[in-house]
Amino acid sequence: MLEEPTTPPSPDTSTPPPATATAPPTAYAPLYGPPYAQAAPYPVYGQPPRRRRSAWFWVSILGGSFAVIALLITAMVWAIVRDLNGDASASIDGLGGGAKIGVIDLDGVILDADKIDTQIRKFGDDSSIKAIILHINSPGGGAAASQEIYNEVVRVRQEKHKKIVASVESLGASGAYYIASGCDKIYANDASVVGSIGVIMEWTNYGDLLKWARLKSVVIHAGTLKDAGDPTREMTPAEQAYFQSIVDNMYGQFVHDVAIGRHTTDDKIRPLATGQVWTGQQAIPLGLIDKIGGFRVALVDTAHSVGISGEPTVERPADDKKGLLAVLTDGSDDLFPNPSKLLDQAPGFYFMWR
C-alpha cells in the first residue's frame, strides 16, 4: 500500500526572522512601506533633534525692540526741541541755559537777509547766549539785504545790550564789511580782504542778440523814465543821470552807516570809500578793523569780555538743509527753475566786491 505524500510543515510565521542589521537607537523605520510610506515621527539618523528657544532669547528680542523704539522716540523729541529752540545743540545744557557764545556763519553772496536776521534775533532773545560772533566770509551782495542785516545787528546790540563781534575769515568786503561795521569789534587775519566801500549797479544788455535773432522788444509805458534800464537798448543821457543819482544816494548811506559803526565821521570814511580793498594788516592803521586774529582769537576774547572763563561753549543755529523729500514737497523751483525768472532782467544795486 502506497503511502500518501506528506506535506512539509509550513514555517512558523508568528516570530519574525532576526534582523540582519541592528538600526541605531535614534533611527526609526516608516510605519508602512510604499505606497503608504510617511515621514518618520522622530528625527532621522544624522540630524540632531531641534532645540527649543530658551526664554532668555525671547526676552532679549523684546528688550532690543523696546530699546530701538525708545531711541526713535528720543530722536523725535530731540528734533522737536531743536526746532523750537532754533539751535543745533538742543542738549540738556542748551535747554538749561549755560553761558554760551552764539556763532552765525555769513558765507557767500548776500541776497536774502531773512535767514540771518532770524538767527540774530533768536540769539538776541536767548538769555543763555552772552555774545554773538558773525563769522564772515563774503564778498557782499544786495544793497538792501546787507543794510537789513546791519540794522538788525545794531538793533540787537542796543535793545538787548548784547555784544556782537565780527570775525572775518578770508573775505569781508562791501556789503559784508557794511554788516561788520555795525558790530562792537572787527577781527581779521593779516591776509584777510576787507573794505570795498562802494555801490555797483549792473544788468545785461542783450539788444544785439535780439537783432541777430531778428526779434524786437515792444514796450508801452507812461512816464519818461518808466522803462529806464531796458536791457534791449542803450541808455539815454537822462537815464544815465537818473541811475547815477540812485547809486550816489546809496553810496552816501553806506559811508554814513560805516562811519557810525566805526565811531567816526563821514569825512574820515569817504577817502577810504573808493571801492578798493585792503588786507587785514593794512586795515589796522586805517581804522577799518580793530584787531588782527582769526576766529579762535575772536572767540576767546569775546568770551572773556562777557565774563565766561575757561573754554567757551559755542552754539550755532540749526542746519536748514533740505532733504530730497522736502525739496519735492515744498516746490519744484529747486529742481526745475521757473522759466519766467529768465525774463527777470531788472537792474540790480549791490554792495559787492568783484
Measuring CA to CA, how many Å separate 285 from each of 53, 112, 128, 268?
81, 33, 36, 13
Catalytic annotation, pick one of 167, 174, 192, 196: 174
Is residue 226 among the annotated active site residues?
yes
Instruction: Report the distance separating Cα 267 and Cα 278, nearest Å.
Output: 19
348 within 8 A of 202, measured Cβ to Cβ: yes
Phi/psi for 329 (5° steps) reads -90, -30
Q: How long is the chain? A: 354
Catalytic annotation, pick one of 65, 226, 322, 332: 226
Can you tell me which residue has the cell 573775505? 171
CA–chain centroid gap for 143, Å, is 24
Task: Measure the N-to-C terminal CA separation of the chain; round to a whole number of Å.
Answer: 146
Is residue 268 among the annotated active site residues?
no
Phi/psi for 56 (5° steps) reads -65, -30
Neighbours of 256 (CB within 10 A): 14
Q: Judging by beta carbons within 10 Å of its beta carbon (0-12, 13-18, 19+), is residue 188 exposed, middle or buried?
A: buried
Which residues are catalytic, by number? 174, 226
